[in-house]
Structure 1
Amino acid sequence: MKRKRLIGLVGLAMLVAVVAALALRGRRPEWTTSSPQALSEFRQGLEALDKVYRAESTADFAKAVELDPKFLAAKYFLLRSLATPSSDPQAAKLYAELEAADLANLTARERFLIRYALAAHAKDAVKAEQILQAYAVERPDDPYALDALATDATARQDWPQARRLLTRLIEVAPNRVSAYNQLGYLAMGQGQFAEAEKMFETYRYIAPDQANPHDSLGELDILTGRYADARKELDEALRIRPDFCASSGHLVSLALLEGKMDEARQALAQAEGAGGCPAYMDQMMKCAIAVWTPFSAGDWNGVWQARQGACADDDKGDSAFMVWAALRTGHTSEADALIAKAGEQLAKLPPASPGRRYLEAEVAHLEGARFLVEGEPAKAAERFRFADQAMSYRELGPGLFKLINRFVLAQALSATGARDEAAAVLAEARAVNAKFIDRLGALLAPGAAR
C-alpha cells in the first residue's frame, strides 16, 4: 500500500514538473528580441541604468541595438540613458524609429513604455496620462508603472501619493534599491531633511559600492549647508566612479557656493578628464563658473557679459540670473524679453504637463524681480509668494532657487513695511542653509551692483 502510494506521489510530482516546464516554455519573454546576446547586453544596461551609470548603460543598450536592430525596448532604454536633449540628432533618430515601428508583437509593458515616451516627447500630456493610467489599471503592480506614476505624482508635488507608490515599488521589486533614493528626494522636496538623510543612508547601506548614494547625500549636504560633509561624500562617489558626472557637477556647485573659484575649475577639469559628462553638461558647468565668478564679487555687469560667452546658448544659461543681471545693469528691455520668452514657454505647456509647476514658479519669480526693481514691492511680494508655493527643495538647483526666492520675498515684504513677516520668511530660509542666505545678504542687497 505504501509502495503504491509512493509510486503515485512520484508520478504526480513528475506530472507537476512537466506541466511547469511546459508553462515556462510557453511563457512570453519579458523583453522582445531574437538575439540572446542582445538580451544579455540589454540586461547589463538595465543594471547600469539603475545605478545611474549612464555612460555604461548607454554603451550596453547601443550594443544590444547593434546586435538586434529590431530590439525596440533596447532603443527605448537607450533613449532614457542618453544624457542629451531630445533634439540631439541621435535622440531624434531613435524617436523617429520608435514612432515608425510596429508595436503589435511587443509585450504589454514594452508597448506601454514606448507609447508613453512618444506621447511625452510630443508634449501631449493628456495622451501620456491616459496611456499611463490605462496600463496602471491593467497591471497595477508593474514596477515600471509604479515608477512612472510616482514620478508623475512627484512632479505635481502630490507627496503622499508619490510616497505610497514608491513604498509599493519597494514591496513588489525589492531589487529596485534606487527607490530609496527617490524616497530621499521626495522627503527633500517637502523640506523633511532628516527623513531624506535616513533614506539616502539606507540606500548607501544597501549599495555601499555604488556612487549614486554618496552623490545624493552630498547633494543634500550642500543644500543644507553642511559643506565639509558634502565634499567627503562627493569625493567618495568619484573615488568609486571617477566618471560619475553628477558628482563632478555637484563639486563645481559646492565650490561656487563657497566662493572657491579655483576649486570649481579643478572640478570641471576633473570631469573633462574623466570623460563621463556629455558635452552639454560640460558647457553648463562652464556657464555656472562664468556666472558665479562675477556674481560672487558683486559684479552684475560681469554676470550679464557671461551671456555673450560661456552662457551664449540659451539652453546652458540660467534665465533667472540673467534677468536679475539685466535689471541690475539697466538692460530693462532685455530683461523684459527674457521674461516674455519664459512666459511663452509656459503658455505652450498643457495644464497636465509635469514640468508646468516649476516653470510657473520661475515665471512668477522673474515677474517679481521686475516689480521689485521697479519699486513696486507689494506686487513683487505677491509674485514671489506664488513662486514659493510652487517651488520645492527636491534637488540642489531647485532648492537653491527656492532659497533665493525666499530671500528676495523677505526683501519685498520688508520694503512694504511687513517686517515681522519678512523676518519669519528669512528665518525659515536660514534654517535650511544659513551660510547661503548670509552670502545672499551681501550679494543681493539693494544697490549691490557695480
Structure 2
Amino acid sequence: MKWMVLVLVTALVLIAAGLMFGHRTDTDSLSENDEAQALCEEGTADYNALRLHDAVNKLGQSLELDPALAEASIARSLAFARLGQTDNFETELDRADSLTALLTDPRRRMLAELRLSALSMSRYYTMGDSVLAALEQEIPNNIFVLVAKASQPDIMTDPVLQEKAWQRILEVDPNFANSYNMLGYLELHRGNYDQSIEYMKKYAFLAPDQANPHDSMGEVLMVMGRYEEAEQEFIKSVKIQPDFYFSLINLGSVYLHRGQIAKGKDILEKVRAEVRGSTLERQVDLEIINAFVNSDLDEEMDRMAAEFIARYPDERVTCFYRAMRLAAVGDPDAGRAVMDSCLTDWRKDAAYAGDANFRRNIENAQGRFEAISADYNAAPAERVTRWKKALDQVREVYPFHYQWFYRYRLAKALRESGRPDKALAELRPMFEVNPRQINALELAAYCSVDLGDRAGAQTWLSLLQRSLKDADPDFYGRERAATLATRIGEMPTGM
C-alpha cells in the first residue's frame, strides 16, 4: 500500500479513532461508569490493533453502560467503516456527532471534534484546522494533537517534515508504537530498506500482540525479494488475527512472486469470498488486481478487471479498466475515447483544482493508459516514447519500488526497439533492491544475449533459476527459463 496516500489515511483514522486513552492530559474520568470506560479503552485498543470485530463488540457494550460516552461512539464508527459496514458506520457516526455536541468540558469536546474532523461525513469535517490551531496553543504535547499535526497535507507530502513530526511524537512518548510504523514506511519509500527494517522491529517489539507490525515488516521484506522471510511475517500476522485480510493478500502476493500461482490464487480467492457483500470487497478486489499486474499475470488481471467493471460500474477506477480492456483487444481509439471522457469528468472535480496529489494521479492515469495501449497496438519505438513519458510522470513522486512496473515495461520496449543496453540500464537498479524478479531477470538475460555477452546472460539465468526453485511445476517461467538456457548454450563460449 501501501504508499503515502495510505499512510495519510491511516494517520487520519488514528486521530479519529482516539488512538490511546493513556495519553489524555486531563485527570477527569470520561465516564462515571468505570466498566464503561474500561470497555471503551479496551475497544479503542482493539481498533488500533485492527481487531475490528472485538472493537465493535466492546465499544457497543461500553455504550450500553454509558450511552453518552462520545469517545466510544467515535471509535466504534471507525471500526464499522474499516469493516465496510456502511449503514452501521453512518448510524454510529450520527450518534458520535450528536454526543460530541453535548460534551460540556471544552478540551474534551475539542479533542472529540478534532478526531471527527478527519471524517468527511462528520458535521465537524470543516473544523479541523481551527480546532487543531486552538489545541496546539492549549495542549501542544497532547498525542492526538501531535498526530493531527503530523497528518497535515503539507507535512505528509514532505518527507523531511514528516520525519520530524513523527520523531517529535517519540520525544513525547518513546513507546508510541505507530510512530515506528510510519517512520518505517517513510524509510521504505525513501529506499532506505535496512533502516525501514529497524523501525519495523521496534514497532513489533512495542506491539507484540498485534498483527500489523508483522504485516508491515513483511511488506518491506517482500520489496527486497526476501520472500521466505516475508512469508513467515505474514503467517505470524494471520495467526495473531485470522481475519487480517491485507496480510492474507500479501501472503498470496508472495506466492505469486515465487511462481506458486495455484497457491497464491487460492488464498486471494478465499479472501474475496470472506469479504463478499461488504464495501471492503471493492478494496480487496483492487489489491488482488494489483497483485496480478505486478506479477505480470495478464490473463488473471483481465479476468479480475472484467469482474470489477461488472460489479462497480460507477467507480472512478472502473473507467480506466474499461479503457484498458478496449485497447487490449485492438481498439485503442475506443479505449482512448472512454479514457478522454473519464478525464473530462475527473478534471471537473473540485479536488482537481485544489489538490495537487489528486491532479497528479489523474494525469498519471492518462500516461499509464497511453503506455499500456501502446504495448498492445504500437511499434516498439512508440512504446518506448510512451513508457518514458509515463515513468517521468511518476519518477519524482512514487517510491522507487512502485516504479518497477513502468521500468520493466520500458525495458521490454527498449529491447524490442533494438536497444538492449538501454533496457539493462533500466533493470539493473531494480535488481540492486530485489534480485528475484522473475520476468525482469528473463528480460535481462535476453538483453545480454542480444549484446553477445554470454557470461552476463549466464549470470542472469542463474539468478532466474534460483528464483524459480519453489515455482509450480507447470509455471510458465520454468519452460521459458529452459528455452533461455538452450539459447545461451548455443552462444560461442568466447563471447
TM range (shorter): 0.7 to 0.9
In the superposition, the TM-score normalised over structure 1's length comes to 0.74
Q: Secondary structure at the match of 2:152?
A: helix
Q: Secondary structure at the match of 2:42?
A: helix
Distance in 1, matches of 2:269 and 2:210, equals: 23
Which residue of structure 2 aligns with residue 14 of structure 1? Answer: none
Which residue of structure 1 aligns with residue 143 of structure 2? Answer: 143
Q: Is the 8 A contact 1:249 1:268 kept in 2?
A: yes
CA distance 1:41–1:153, change in 2 (3 Å): same
Which residue of structure 2 aligns with residue 18 of structure 1? Answer: none
Q: Is the 8 A contact 2:218 2:231 kept in 1?
A: yes
CA distance 1:91–1:109, change in 2 (3 Å): same
Aligned-residue offset at 1:87:
8.6
Comparing 326-335 with 224-233, greater Cα deviation is found at: 326-335
Q: Is the 8 A contact 1:79 1:91 kept in 2?
A: yes
Which residue of structure 2 aligns with residue 396 of structure 1? Answer: none
Q: Match for 2:179: what amino acid?
A: A
Aligned-residue offset at 1:436:
3.3
Which residue of structure 2 aligns with residue 182 of structure 1? Answer: 182
Q: Secondary structure at the match of 1:243?
A: coil
Q: Match for 1:388: what amino acid?
A: R
Q: Is the 8 A contact 1:39 1:64 kept in 2?
A: yes
Which residues of 2 match residues 107-256 of structure 1 at below 5 A? 107-115=106-114, 117-118=116-117, 120-121=119-120, 128-152=128-152, 156-256=156-256
2:396 equivalent among 365, 389, 406: 389
Q: Secondary structure at the match of 1:386?
A: helix
Encode CA deviations 1:138-160: one digit per residue, 9 max, x unaligned.
43211112222223358743111
Distance in 2, matches of 1:30 and 1:425, equals: 60
CA distance 1:440–1:340, change in 2 (3 Å): farther
Which residues of 2 match residues 302-321 of structure 1 at below 5 A? 303-309=301-307, 312-314=310-312
Distance in 2, matches of 1:243 and 1:33, equals: 32
Distance in 1, matches of 2:420 and 2:412, equals: 9
Distance in 2, matches of 1:403 and 1:194, equals: 19
Q: Secondary structure at the match of 2:44?
A: helix
Q: Is the 8 A contact 1:361 1:390 kept in 2?
A: no
Gaps of 5+ in 2: 1-24, 447-495
Distance in 2, matches of 1:77 and 1:63, equals: 13
Comparing 253-262 with 122-131, greater Cα deviation is found at: 122-131
CA distance 1:441–1:73, change in 2 (3 Å): farther
CA distance 1:269–1:414, change in 2 (3 Å): closer
Q: Secondary structure at the match of 2:151?
A: helix
Q: Is the 8 A contact 1:38 1:64 kept in 2?
A: yes
Which residue of structure 2 aligns with residue 20 of structure 1? Answer: none
Comparing 425-434 with 176-185, greater Cα deviation is found at: 425-434
Q: Match for 1:404: what amino acid?
A: F
Q: Match for 1:157: what amino acid?
A: T
Encode CA deviations 1:70-89: one digit per residue, 9 max, x unaligned.
22222222233335488921
Aligned-residue offset at 1:340:
4.5
Q: Match for 2:228: what amino acid?
A: A
Distance in 1, matches of 2:304 and 2:132, equals: 42
Q: Is the 8 A contact 2:408 2:440 kept in 1?
A: no
CA distance 1:129–1:54, change in 2 (3 Å): same
Q: Secondary structure at the match of 1:309?
A: helix
Which residues of 2 match residues 38-117 of structure 1 at below 5 A? 38-84=36-82, 88-101=86-99, 102=101, 105-115=104-114, 117=116
Which residue of structure 2 aligns with residue 9 of structure 1? Answer: none
CA distance 1:376–1:126, change in 2 (3 Å): farther
Q: Match for 1:132: what amino acid?
A: L
CA distance 1:76–1:289, change in 2 (3 Å): closer
CA distance 1:110–1:433, change in 2 (3 Å): farther
Q: Secondary structure at the match of 1:121?
A: coil
Q: Match for 2:64: what amino acid?
A: E
Distance in 2, matches of 1:79 and 1:234, equals: 27
CA distance 1:335–1:158, change in 2 (3 Å): same
Which residue of structure 2 aligns with residue 356 of structure 1? Answer: 358
Distance in 2, matches of 1:408 and 1:306, equals: 21
CA distance 1:159–1:437, change in 2 (3 Å): farther
Which residue of structure 2 aligns with residue 13 of structure 1? Answer: none
Which residues of 2 match residues 432-447 of structure 1 at below 5 A? 432-436=433-437, 438-439=439-440
Which residue of structure 1 aligns with residue 449 of structure 2? Answer: none
What's the RMSD between the two structures over aligned residues? 4.2
Q: Secondary structure at the match of 2:263?
A: helix
CA distance 1:354–1:156, change in 2 (3 Å): farther
CA distance 1:167–1:289, change in 2 (3 Å): closer
Q: Is the 8 A contact 1:381 1:409 kept in 2?
A: yes
CA distance 1:89–1:286, change in 2 (3 Å): same
Aligned residues with identical type, % of pairs: 20
CA distance 1:225–1:112, change in 2 (3 Å): same
CA distance 1:270–1:208, change in 2 (3 Å): farther
CA distance 1:439–1:158, change in 2 (3 Å): same
Aligned-residue offset at 1:417:
9.1
Which residue of structure 2 aligns with residue 328 of structure 1? Answer: 328
Q: Match for 2:107: what amino acid?
A: A
CA distance 1:104–1:255, change in 2 (3 Å): same
CA distance 1:118–1:245, change in 2 (3 Å): same
Aligned-residue offset at 1:440:
9.0
CA distance 1:298–1:72, change in 2 (3 Å): closer
Q: Secondary structure at the match of 1:69?
A: coil
Q: Match for 2:393: what amino acid?
A: F
CA distance 1:376–1:231, change in 2 (3 Å): closer
Number of equivalenced pairs? 409
Aligned-residue offset at 1:317:
7.0
Encode CA deviations 1:17-40: one digit per residue, 9 max, x unaligned.
xxxxxxxxxx95566444332211
Gaps of 5+ in 1: 1-26, 394-398, 446-450
Q: Secondary structure at the match of 1:435?
A: coil
Distance in 2, matches of 1:161 and 1:69, equals: 40
Aligned-residue offset at 1:168:
1.6
CA distance 1:289–1:120, change in 2 (3 Å): closer
Distance in 1, matches of 2:255 and 2:319, equals: 21
Comparing 332-341 with 89-98, greater Cα deviation is found at: 332-341
Aligned-residue offset at 1:199:
0.5
CA distance 1:48–1:390, change in 2 (3 Å): same
In the superposition, the TM-score normalised over structure 2's length comes to 0.68
